[in-house]
């Protein structure tokens, strides 16, 4: 029954309305391409990336903590330690492209970090140790303390997906750090969203 107090619809030619449903997202197509910082907008909104846990089966490595407080920790027989985590709810860090957002993440963690300290590097984007995937750009901060441990942090904020990936590597010296970083690239690929 029509409400008599409601205005009558205007007579006219019917027109098609703009759709209000977002078209489907082709996750397989996104996973099949490299993901530089500028391509972060191709991810599905709100669907987080992941990190593989294949490092637990790599030679010399053991899984020490499995997703404790969101992070997994691995130890190598040579004294290296890797911590890897994916975080969601990263919208407050989003600043334009993913590169600027990742700089904001580093500065949130340590306000003294300048953008010039960070270097663009690549991790695997999907794949397995036997069949590597594509490449995903991350920012890296590497520090060595004379007589102390050598560390590297690799991170990326995925603004559209609202998530971030953060991997820290700490070793007794620079030579072991280089080896551990190679293992991280091979055995801890970032995993594209599946939807």
Q: Which two tokens stand for residue 138?
A: 């991350």
pLDDT band at 177 (very low <50, low <70, confident <90, very high): very high
Q: Which two tokens stand for residue 97?
A: 């492209």
- Residue-level length of the chain: 195
User: In angstroms, rounded to a whole number, what is the distance separating the alpha carbons of residues 15 and 129?
Assistant: 54
Higher pLDDT, 52 or 41: 52
Higher pLDDT, 35 or 20: 35
Give the DSSP letter string of 7-69.
Answer: PPPPP----PPPP-SPPP--HHHHHTS-B-GGGGGGSPTT---EE--GGGGSTTEEEEEEEET
Q: What radius of gyration, in Å, describes the C-alpha atoms of the chain? A: 22
Residue 127 main-chain phi, psi, to 5 deg: 85, -170
Q: Average pLDDT, stretch 30-36?
A: 83
Of 28-42, 85-99, 134-148, 150-164, minimum mean pLDDT range: 28-42
Q: How many CB atoms lie within 10 A of CB 132?
A: 14
Is residue 113 predicted with pLDDT exceeding 80?
A: yes
Across the chain, what does the average pLDDT equal?
Answer: 86
Q: How many CB atoms lie within 10 A of CB 130?
A: 7
* pLDDT for the residue numbered 21: 31
* pLDDT for the residue numbered 3: 53
pLDDT band at 195 (very low <50, low <70, confident <90, very high): very low
User: In angstroms, rounded to a whole number, what is the distance separating the alpha carbons of residues 44 and 29?
Assistant: 11
* pLDDT for the residue numbered 20: 31
User: In angstroms, rounded to a whole number, what is the distance separating the alpha carbons of residues 128 and 13?
Assistant: 57
* pLDDT for the residue numbered 135: 95
Is residue 8 predicted with pLDDT exceeding 60?
A: no
What SS3 state is found at 184? helix
Q: Which two tokens stand for residue 131?
A: 């069949």
Residue 109 main-chain phi, psi, to 5 deg: -75, -35
Is residue 116 predicted with pLDDT exceeding 60?
A: yes
CATH number for the domain formed by residue range(s) 47-188: 3.40.1000
Q: Average pLDDT, stretch 112-120?
A: 96
Higher pLDDT, 176 or 43: 176
pLDDT tens digits for range 55-86: 999 999 999 999 888 899 999 999 999 999 99
Burial class (CB in 10 A: 0-12, 13-18, 19+), 141: middle
Higher pLDDT, 68 or 139: 139
């Amino acid at each position: 029954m029509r409400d008599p107090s409601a205005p009558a619809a205007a007579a006219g030619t019917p027109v098609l309305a703009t759709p209000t449903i977002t078209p489907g997202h082709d996750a397989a197509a996104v996973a099949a391409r490299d993901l530089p910082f500028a391509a972060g907008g191709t991810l599905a909104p709100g669907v987080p990336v992941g990190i593989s846990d294949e490092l637990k089966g790599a030679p010399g490595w053991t899984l020490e903590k499995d997703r404790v407080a969101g992070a997994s920790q691995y130890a190598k027989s040579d004294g290296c330690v890797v911590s890897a985590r994916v975080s969601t709810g990263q919208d407050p860090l989003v600043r334009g492209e993913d590169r600027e957002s990742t700089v904001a993440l580093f500065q949130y963690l340590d306000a003294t970090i300048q953008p010039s300290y960070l270097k663009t590097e690549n991790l695997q984007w999907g794949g397995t140790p036997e069949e590597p995937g594509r490449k995903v750009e991350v920012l890296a901060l590497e520090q060595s303390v004379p007589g102390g441990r050598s560390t590297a942090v690799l991170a990326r904020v995925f603004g559209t997906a609202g998530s971030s990936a953060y991997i820290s590597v700490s070793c007794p010296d620079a030579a072991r750090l280089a080896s551990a970083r190679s293992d991280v690239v091979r055995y801890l690929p970032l995993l594209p969203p599946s939807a």
